[in-house]
Amino acid sequence: MFTLFCIDGGVCAPEGYFADGVACGLKPDGQKDLAFIRSDRLCDIRAIFTSNRFQAAPIVHFKQHAIETTNFILINAKNANAMTGSQGVEDIETVLSHAKATFGSIENPAMSSTGVIGVPLPKTAIMQGLETFDLNAKNPDAAAKAIMTTDRYDKQVAFEVKLESGESFRIGAMAKGAGMINPAMATMLCFITTDAAVPADEMATMLRLCAESTFNAISVDGDTSTNDTVMLLSNGASGVYDREAFMHALERVMHELALKIVADGEGASKCVAFHVTGARNREEAVIAAKALTNSLLVKTALYGEDPNWGRIASTIGASGVECDPDTLTIAFGGVTVYEKGTILFDAEQEKKAAQVMKKSAFPIHCDLGIGEGEFTAYGCDLGHEYVKINADYRT
């Protein structure tokens, strides 16, 4: 048994972590664009990265160095350092060497970047910026803001986990992400810190397991970025560990941040849980649920608050999973509009379903009526703001 308490402090909530964000001129108007996370002792670190074949330079660098322990992560926004070839990796070496020379105590530093693809890293600005870091600062809000791109708000979460024994550990995290969000392995930037004494050899597996139902279950636009990264840093400062409690807390942290990312989907006004049950198996439930999050016709109907269940049915039918109109049931919130071949969509039901869709978050339940497979994927609507943001992203 264990209890989770929601606490403040983001990535600085666990013992021994420091973080801050500064402005080094990558974003206009003096906005923060460069952040660090530091631990006062060496952390174990594991990460999961994008499935995109063109992985960005920071990911290539991380893998080349096979980083397994660190005490310093540098993160910049506005430039992805992707499609920048070997120069991109050399630039990271230059920047991180400069950080080491400036601060001395840094070991096995890693870098993470997000922003425009295909532009060389502005390393001079970044090196000048990192010289202004106060490594003893605990400003998680500033760090969380500095890593934002098109995000409307920063995304942080932290928990204190109390075990039955009275012992406790903490876990905290920050994430960024609003566009280029797709349900493929690791879909944004996320940095998780913990002072739990997590066995290093279990970290990667736990990250992957938790990603399945969290970051891999969300979609804003179906595009998989070159930079997606989830890092888990564990410094063991609490000396406390309980596998079940830690897994639960980690999943909770990742789930909350995943939902924050969907709710902040570019131009999004609604977060919708597509709950698919009765599929032939779990794999097919995943396929159908993710197809629903990615259908433009479904997303625009959500935006229009139009209970156009025909588009939901059509998307399931097109997804390639086993399905049958005579066993399918579709409900908006608690309002069933189609049940096993029968259309229950009179004026009154339509009004009720439209009422459900006025909410900023609601579930759409599709029971395929065939097997036991189920999965919930989280998506958002697509409106004029998405077009506006992405038609002029670079300018």
**Residues 63-82 close enough to bind a copy of itself by CB under 8 A:** 80, 82
**Stretch 204-243: interaction string toward a copy of itself, x if CB under 8 A:** -----------------xxxxxx-----------------
**Residues 180-199 close enough to bind a copy of itself by CB under 8 A:** 180, 182, 184
Angle at 219 between CA 338 and CA 188, to 5 degrees: 165
Q: How far is CA 383 from CA 104, 235, 259, 297, in A?
A: 49, 43, 19, 11
The separation between the first and the last C-alpha atoms of the chain, rounded to the nearest angstrom, is 52
From candidates 83, 101, 209, 361, binder to a copy of itself by CB under 8 A: 83
From candidates 117, 137, 197, 356, binder to a copy of itself by CB under 8 A: 117
> Least distance from C-beta 350 to a copy of itself, angstroms?
10
Q: How far is CA 194 from CA 11, 157, 222, 243, in A?
A: 8, 12, 31, 13
Give the residue with the Cβ less far from a copy of itself, 199 or 317.
Answer: 317
> Least distance from C-beta 119 to a copy of itself, angstroms?
8
Exactly one of 70, 84, 187, 336 is catalytic; name it: 187
Question: Would you count residue 283 as binding a copy of itself (CB under 8 A)?
Answer: no
> Least distance from C-beta 390 to a copy of itself, angstroms?
4
From candidates 7, 25, 31, 51, binder to a copy of itself by CB under 8 A: 51
* Amino acid code (one letter) for 330: I
Give the residue with the Cβ less far from a copy of itself, 225 or 235.
Answer: 225
**Stretch 296-315: interaction string toward a copy of itself, x if CB under 8 A:** xx--xx-xx-x-xxxx-xxx
CB atoms within 10 A of CB 30: 8
Do 17 and 39 meet the contact criterion of CB atoms below 8 Å apart?
A: yes
DSSP state of 217: G
Ranges of H-type helices in the chain: 57-64, 85-103, 123-130, 140-146, 200-213, 243-263, 282-294, 296-303, 309-318, 347-357, 384-391
What is the distance, to the nearest Å, from the Cα of residue 8 to the centroid of all Cα atoms in its chain? 19
Question: Would you count residue 395 as binding a copy of itself (CB under 8 A)?
Answer: yes
> Least distance from C-beta 174 to a copy of itself, angstroms?
23
Please say if 187 is a catalytic residue. yes
Give the residue with the Cβ less far from a copy of itself, 199 or 371.
Answer: 371
DSSP 126-147: HHHHHTT--TT-B-HHHHHHHT
Helix axes 85-103, 57-64, angle to 10 degrees: 70
Give the residue with the Cβ less far from a copy of itself, 30 or 53.
Answer: 53
Size of the site for a copy of itself (CB under 8 A): 68
Token pair in block for residue 375:
């999965």
> Least distance from C-beta 371 to a copy of itself, angstroms?
15
Q: What is the CA radius of gyration of the chain?
A: 22
From candidates 342, 348, 359, 361, binder to a copy of itself by CB under 8 A: 342
- Residue 240 burial by Cβ neighbours in a 10 Å radius (0-12, 13-18, 19+): buried
- How far apart are the C-alpha atoms of 122 and 127, rounded to whole Å? 9
Which range in 22-30, 118-126, 246-254, 356-364 contacts a copy of itself by CB under 8 A?
118-126
Binding residues vs a copy of itself (CB under 8 A): 50-55, 80, 82-85, 116-120, 179-180, 182, 184, 221-226, 294-297, 300-301, 303-304, 306, 308-311, 313-318, 320-323, 325-326, 338, 341-343, 345, 382-384, 386-388, 390-395
Enumerate the active-site residues. 187
